[in-house]
Amino acid sequence: MDDGMQEVYRAAESASRVALASPVYFGSLTGGLLDIMSRFQRYFKEGRNGVLPRVGPQKSGAVILTAGGSGGCGAENAERQARIFMKLLNVAEPVFITSYQTDTVSAIEDREAVGKAAELREKWLAEILR
């Protein structure tokens, strides 16, 4: 199918960094994001004996998740989904930046999450500009 995914495949096959961001909906990454992730099925054809294929070069990766169910209701499932996808994208150890109390503290006011995101941005920028 020739659609916007061609650009996503090209990026996955050439990028050296990837960030995945989603709110937790119904204990899951959002349906829209799962739709895009499911389009990576084309790479599974290349996998052998149930071994997860690896797309593109080894990358640095970040997973940014928000959840509002008092501490992240079902967030562990979203984290598991993100981990599998990061592995597929050839990310060994993704950094997780989470804000799991958006029902009481909005993500932008979550000092720890915002601090971690700023730290990662600085690190990646320094690497890119080096």
Ligand X SMILES: Cc1cc2nc3c(=O)[nH]c(=O)nc-3n(C[C@H](O)[C@H](O)[C@H](O)COP(=O)(O)O)c2cc1C
* Separation between Cα atoms, residue 82 and residue 126, nearest integer Å: 25
| Residue 96 CB burial class (10 angstroms; 0-12, 13-18, ≥19) | middle
* Residue with the CB atom nearest ligand X in the bound state: 69
26 belongs to the binding site for ligand X (CB under 6 A): yes
Q: Minimum distance between the CB of residue 44 and ligand X, rounded to whole angstroms?
A: 27
Q: Are 65 and 24 in contact (CB under 8 A)?
A: yes
Contact between 25 and ligand X per CB under 6 A? yes
Per CB under 6 A, 23 contacts ligand X: yes
- By the rule CB under 6 A, 72 interacts with ligand X: yes
- Residue 81 or 102: the one with the smaller Cβ distance to ligand X is 102
CA atoms of 49 and 45, how far apart (whole Å): 11
Q: Which of 60, 66, 90, 98 binds ligand X (CB under 6 A)?
A: 66
Q: Say how many residues touch ligand X, by CB under 6 A.
A: 15
Minimum distance from residue 62 beta carbon to ligand X (Å): 17
Q: Which residues bind ligand X (CB under 6 A)?
A: 23-27, 66-69, 72-75, 102, 106
